[in-house]
Structure 1
Amino acid sequence: MAKQKEELLQDKLAQLHSLLKKAVKEKNSSDITIDSINKICEKVRTESRVQSQTKNKLQALYMQAMNDAETEQECLKKALDLIVEIRELKESLSKYSAPTVVRRGVLMSLLQEAARTLPLWVGEPGHEAPPLCGSRAPDPSYICQPRDKIAALVREDGEDNWILAEVIKYQWTNGRYHVADVDAEEGKERHSLPKTSVIPLPLWKANPETNPEAIFKKGEMVLALYPQTTCFYRALVDEPPTSVHEDYQLFFEDPSYPEGIAPSLAVPQRYVIPLRDEQNA
């Protein structure tokens, strides 16, 4: 099974390489076409009357530019889908590896990498982002899949805490999740939890420029992973991201500070999730 998955992974990587090469080719073709359009438009500005031949040429160039852009967009969409499949294959392959204890520093680096490589949602213009994109909550009937990362409400040392965990399986007979703490230093503790104690993390990153509805607003209360830890805490959005390259700036509740909140900290979209109604009580 592992060998088959490895072969499939290599095939997906080859497909991704081919798609990206095609996207670059279409981008270069589009740039040349747009440059030709700009030159003709500049020439037209100096003429008193536009010849019909020039109009026809411009129309043909505009059509060519649109076709190039659409082909490039299609290649990039397929590439994003492939990246998701590749990530899932790499995750599934890891279970065939010999178990290892991950040091805290390595774990933090892996969490940062997972946030940085979260797939970007690219939808049709004017369409809203789907559930589990950015701030969008999942459908009520949604069931997390094995190996999905989640926020899990567990009782430790007499206190309820939201921790970063991984789904092992969902038990349909009793409607409970079996999850494992991602923190290797804690011995990968396992918990059996009801659906109400599990919050899935986003599956896609939202683009604030095209899907602002999938971005938490300034002043909104959220649940977020405190930097350099594997625990989620209540936080207030100080500044939402304005581009796909930016993180949230959040004020975490922290009684150790005089005002009860910590200075603004950066947290990526992957680890900022909706605060459930029952937590606001």
Structure 2
Amino acid sequence: MDRKSRTSRSATLEETNEEVSLWKQICNSLSKLENVQENITTIVTSINHLHTTVNTEDGVPPRIGDKLTEYYKGGIDLTQHEAKTINDIIEKLSVLIALRDASEYSYGNGVLAFGTSVAAKQPKQKDKNEEWILAVVLNYNNEKNKYEVEDVDQDEFGQKQRYLLQPRNVIPIPSAEEAKSMLEFNSGQDVLALYPGTTCFYRAKVIASPSKVSRDALFEHHGLTVI
């Protein structure tokens, strides 16, 4: 995927952070679960009401029997949907907990942990310039001394590409909290900058630190932000 196609997409660091994404999915699933359970309650109430109108000694009238059958089928479908949604929520919560636990050891033993957001240098491809992209660490291969990372962006086929990269081609991105305690970049220092609203990095040079000028004047190319 070339820079032009990548820069046409809007993907902020927050949106591509796996923990944030998972939490949004969980909240969305919980909202759906609440709606399903409300519908189940409505059906159960309707079934109970119909039962109170039937005299079992006289049998169930066809009209009421058909309605009861309809309600029961609808109730079965909803309970199956409920169970599937609950299992999905539990699975996502398990992954989120694992990510939160792993984030505390992101820099343990010098190895980046699963889920760490990084700037990753794509392997050189024919007729394409090398690019630094926003990616997430999947694992570290001790034998090959390489990280497996996954591009946060999808390709033209809707797939997220994965790469095996040497450590020097994987740069961890500090969290917002970590960034607060970082020293300012010096004037003239080479950096990787992220195009606003994209997942593509490029090489830039610092003109002045934030303490001396506004952030809009940090780079020779206007509108670019250091991560």
Greater Rg, structure 1 or structure 2? 2
* Larger relative contact order (Cα-Cα within 8 Å, sequence gap ≥ 6): 2
Q: TM-score, normalised by structure 1?
A: 0.38
